[in-house]
């Protein structure tokens, strides 16, 4: 059995689809299962059993001997939520319980960290574990992810294989339910269809022109390939960046979304909302050398190719992966 937490969500459901492609069909899907929109992410997928998130530890204590691997993808990911107690429960304490059981039951573990841990990037974007305690995330979500990374590194007892993955700006199929937290590409597609135009945030930073804020956008199909690689290799435990390795501008993103729809770009600039303006990342780029150094050699989608595949293959057809 392979366990996927956050199974009904964006990344979790895409991971299950990829596991099914590889004929891994004994999937234990862990989530709340209370959102009918998220249910659509699981339609057609081969799942052995669904387990409610709060009942999962009892289930695992009874069935651990049948579990081959755990992908802990589930988390509270709302970067606009500032009640840290919510993140403390779901992102920190829940993750600690999974870790402790993986140690006790000798189950290998891959869990989702986040590039939000890097804050404004004062220390760069290198996945050097010695720097993790010095990072300064910009919001409670990033703080919770960094808190767990620090805790994991400090543990004297670890699963025989484990990896934390710092996801950068992930986009791709199965994010219809995410609302404000969906990728910029998803919102661009919706805006362009509705108005024929796209709004981007104006720069409030002297070193960046409007629309030239840069992020490392990574296609979810690449992300799940890395997850499968780690499941198969089970060597070189540690914390790894997971981005494309190439920062691109929001203008690039918008232009390519128009192109995928066969339209000429029509772009307007608006002020960055005041509630996030002081905590806005103007540049992120994953140093991918560490993952490459342990043998991962598959290429990542370029932004152009990823957007073409996502827009034409999924968004335009309202199709799920």
Containing H/E element for 302? none
Angle between helices 250-260 and 303-310 (to 10 degrees): 40
| CA Rg value for the chain | 19
Q: Residue 194: which residues within 8 A CB-CB, separation 6 or more?
A: none
Residue whose C-alpha is closest to residue 53's, from 98, 6, 1: 6
Catalytic residue among 94, 111, 125, 141: 141
Catalytic residue flag (residue 221): no
The SS3 call for residue 192 is: helix
Q: What is d(CA 231, CA 108) in angstroms, rounded to the nearest whole number? A: 8
Cβ atoms of residues 284 and 217 within 8 Å: no
Catalytic residue among 178, 199, 280, 296: 178
Catalytic residue flag (residue 178): yes
Residues 71-107 as b or e (16 or more Cβ within 10 Å = b):
bbbbbbbbbeeeebeebbebbbebbeebbebbbeeeb
CB under 8 A, 24+ apart: contacts of 81-84: 81/140, 81/141, 82/139, 82/140, 83/140, 84/140, 84/143, 84/144
Strand 198-201 to 238-242 pairing: unpaired
What are the helix (H) ranges across 2-93? Answer: 10-21, 36-39, 56-63, 84-87
Dihedral sign for Cα 217, 32, 240, 89, please: positive
Enzyme catalytic residues: 141, 178
């Amino acid at each position: 059995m392979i366990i996927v937490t956050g199974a009904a969500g964006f990344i979790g459901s895409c991971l299950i689809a990829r596991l099914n492609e590889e004929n891994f069909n004994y999937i234990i899907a862990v989530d709340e299962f209370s959102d009918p929109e998220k249910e659509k992410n699981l339609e057609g997928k081969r799942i052995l059993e669904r387990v409610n998130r709060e009942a999962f530890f009892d289930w695992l204590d009874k069935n651990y001997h049948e579990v081959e691997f755990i992908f802990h993808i589930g988390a509270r990911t709302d970067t606009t939520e500032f009640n840290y107690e919510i993140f403390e429960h779901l992102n920190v304490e829940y993750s600690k319980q999974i870790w402790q059981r993986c140690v006790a039951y000798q189950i290998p573990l891959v869990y989702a960290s986040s590039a939000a841990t890097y804050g404004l990037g004062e220390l760069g974007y290198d996945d050097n574990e010695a720097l993790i305690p010095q990072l300064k995330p910009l919001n409670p979500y990033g703080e919770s992810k960094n808190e767990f990374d620090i805790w994991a590194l400090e543990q004297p007892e670890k699963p025989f294989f484990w990896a934390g993955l710092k996801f950068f700006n992930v986009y791709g199929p199965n994010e219809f339910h995410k609302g404000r937290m969906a990728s910029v590409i998803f919102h661009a597609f919706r805006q362009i269809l509705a108005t024929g135009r796209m709004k981007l945030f104006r720069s409030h930073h002297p070193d960046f022109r409007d629309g030239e804020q840069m992020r490392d956008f990574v296609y979810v199909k690449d992300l799940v390939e890395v997850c499968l690689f780690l499941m198969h290799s089970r060597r070189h435990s540690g914390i790894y960046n997971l981005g494309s390795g190439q920062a691109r501008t929001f203008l690039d993103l918008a232009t390519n979304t128009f192109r995928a729809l066969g339209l000429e770009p029509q772009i307007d600039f608006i002020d960055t909302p005041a509630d996030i303006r002081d905590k806005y990342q103007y540049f992120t780029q994953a140093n991918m050398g560490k993952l490459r150094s342990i043998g991962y050699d598959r290429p990542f989608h370029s932004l152009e190719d990823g957007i073409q595949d996502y827009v034409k293959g999924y968004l335009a057809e309202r199709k799920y992966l």
